[in-house]
Amino acid sequence: MNNLRYIDLFAGAGGLSEGFIREGFVPVTHLEMGKDACDTLRTRLSYHHLRQTKNLNPYYSYLKKEISRNELWDMIPREIIQSVLHEEITSQTIGNIFQQIDERLDSKNVKLIIGGPPCQAYSLIGRSRDPNRMNGDKRNYLFRFYGEFLSRYKPQYFVFENVLGLLSAGTQMYLNEMIQLFESIGYTTTLQVLNAEEYGVLQRRRRVIIIGRRGKNKFPFPKIETIENNWQIEKDLFSDLPKLKPGEELNIAEYTKPINDYQRQTGIRNGIDFITQHIARPHNERDLEIYSIAINKWLNGKNRLRYDELPKRLQTHNNTHAFLDRFKVINPEGHSHTVVAHIAKDGHYYIYPDLNQVRSISVREAARIQSFPDSYFFEGGRTAAFKQIGNAVPPLMASALAKTIYKLLNGE
């Protein structure tokens, strides 16, 4: 097991880590600055511990609100709960962070570091919305702290994940500095863009993955096993979920259909016999009318709604020449477009594809699109859950990565 110990930096809600835990890796520390995401990590680590001890009843009792979160965490070894560090990495805090991690390492080697800094600084959308195009944003250089962790713990490999915009941000200035930094620390790197769809995720989501190996010998990006993905959102992913009205909250609900092949093969339904967090945000009458128009256009011709096509009485933005796809319906017969953290602010870009359920997608539906299993619980309420889900790495893609890293660590 010592060969599979890892640190997760900028861990978020744990999507990347979930894939590595599934493949037998053991987290030493999750480091994350968001309180809600840290609570989600602690709750998920509680799940994994109870699953290993073959006693998930306390976890299910917590989801059903029969016991409190603190009562759940009190049943878990203290070192597991405390392994999640709620810290922002800065030049002032990094020394204390190192000390806390060192106390947990107990002289055992870390073989792997995973994670990627917040993506807003590299994101194409983030740059387009920021008047300064993210220039001067301190998040541009968080990778330098990543390098300090590599210098201190000297893992055999690292996995760095980020958005496609990393390839163009600063005319590749940040990417080039990043690679040079990793090389100066003693790591050879290889890079590839991965598409989550190729690993069973029902979402068009491409991400830059940098794999680093300690030493000077160059190596090709390793082959990652893909799977055929002809499944569909409506038929395979959403078909067993209860119908929802705008603003309706089903914190606990029963499945409406038996498990199907996709849900079984991917572990979306993984033993839990009820649904949590099937929560829809409320909408005003104007938005519901726009959603209905958008759904009609998509279901009757697969056409997207353009903002400038709306009746004038429904247009509230003066700009009718840019961002014309403000309202977007999930494709029921294919895969979703990319889920991003903006879903926490409104649901206009993620409209449910059914005129009998005119609303945006629920927390559980968003989690499923990201390939989180139904047993995964997001702390902090609806808005916090959406943000965590939108920022996450899909666990199915992470699992495929973890299988490959496992083989590399074992010389395969």
Domains of the chain: 2-226+393-409 (3.40.50.150), 233-391 (3.90.120.10)
Cα 273 to Cα 255: distance, rounded to the nearest angstrom: 8
Average pLDDT (277-296) is 96
pLDDT band at 2 (very low <50, low <70, confident <90, very high): low
Q: Which segment of 325-329, 362-366, 377-381 scores lowest on mean pLDDT?
A: 325-329
Q: 3-class SS at 117?
A: coil
Task: Cite the beta strand spans of 65-122 per DSSP E.
Answer: 84-86, 112-115
Q: What is the pLDDT of residues 111-123, one digit of tens each?
A: 999 999 886 655 5
Whether residue 137 is predicted with pLDDT greater than 60 in this model: the reply is: no
Cα 221 to Cα 211: distance, rounded to the nearest angstrom: 7
Structure tokens, 43: 């709750």
Whether residue 105 is predicted with pLDDT greater than 90 in this model: the reply is: no
pLDDT of residue 88: 95
pLDDT of residue 201: 98
Q: DSSP string covering 258-317, please?
A: ---HHHHHHTSS-S--SEEEEE-----HHHHHHHHHHHHHHHTT--PPPGGGS-GGG---
| Non-local CB neighbours of 248 within 8 Å, separated by 6+ positions | 279, 280
- Give me the chain's average pLDDT, please: 92
Average pLDDT (216-236) is 96
What pTM did the predictor assign?
0.93
Percentage helix, strand, coil, to 5, in the chain?
A: 45, 15, 45
pLDDT of residue 133: 43
pLDDT of residue 1: 52
Q: Could you give the angle at which helices 15-22 and 395-409 cross, rounded to 10 degrees?
A: 50
User: Which of 232, 166, 216, 155 shows the shortest CA–CA distance to 193?
Assistant: 166
CB 185 within 8 A of CB 151: yes
Q: Which segment of 51-55, 152-156, 320-324, 341-345 scores lowest on mean pLDDT?
A: 320-324
Whether residue 129 is predicted with pLDDT greater than 90 in this model: the reply is: no
Whether residue 290 is predicted with pLDDT greater than 60 in this model: the reply is: yes
3-state DSSP of the chain: CHHHEEEEECCCCCHHHHHHHHCCCEEEEEEECCHHHHHHHHHHHHHHHHHHCCCCHHHHHHHCCCCCHHHHHHCCCHHHHHCEEECCCCCCCHHHHHHHHHHHHCCCCCCEEEECCCHHHCCHHHHHHCCCCCCCCHHHHCHHHHHHHHHHHCCCEEEEEEEHHHHCHHHHHHHHHHHHHHHHHCEEEEEEEEEHHHHCCCECCEEEEEEEEECCCCCCCCCCCCCCCCCCHHHHHCCCCCCCCCCCEEEEECCCCCCCHHHHHHCCCCCCCCEEEEECCCCCHHHHHHHHHHHHHHHCCCCCCCHHHCCHHHCCCCCCCCCCCCCCECCCCCCECCCCHHHHCCCCCCECCCCCCCCECCHHHHHHHCCCCCCCCCCCCHHHHHHHHHHCCCHHHHHHHHHHHHHHHCCC
pLDDT of residue 121: 58
Residue 38: active-site member:
no
Whether residue 132 is predicted with pLDDT greater than 80 in this model: the reply is: no
Classify residue 339 by its DSSP letter: P
Q: What is the pLDDT of residues 233-246, one digit of tens each?
A: 999 999 999 999 99
pLDDT of residue 168: 81
Q: Considering Cα of 48, then 51, then 57, then 58, what sign does the dihedral take?
A: negative
Q: Which segment of 13-22, 131-140, 296-305 scores lowest on mean pLDDT?
A: 131-140
User: Which of 268, 5, 15 shows the shortest CA–CA distance to 119?
Assistant: 15
Structure tokens, 143: 């990778």
pLDDT band at 316 (very low <50, low <70, confident <90, very high): confident
Whether residue 138 is predicted with pLDDT greater than 90 in this model: the reply is: no
Whether residue 36 is predicted with pLDDT greater than 80 in this model: the reply is: yes
The catalytic residue among 119, 202, 208, 340 is 119
Greatest alpha-carbon span in the chain: 67
pLDDT of residue 140: 64
Q: What is the pLDDT of residues 187-207, one digit of tens each?
A: 999 999 999 999 999 999 999
Whether residue 136 is predicted with pLDDT greater than 80 in this model: the reply is: no
**What percentage of the chain exceeds 70 in pLDDT?**
92
Cα 376 to Cα 40: distance, rounded to the nearest angstrom: 9
Average pLDDT (131-141) is 53
Report CA 21 to chain centroid distance, whole Å: 15
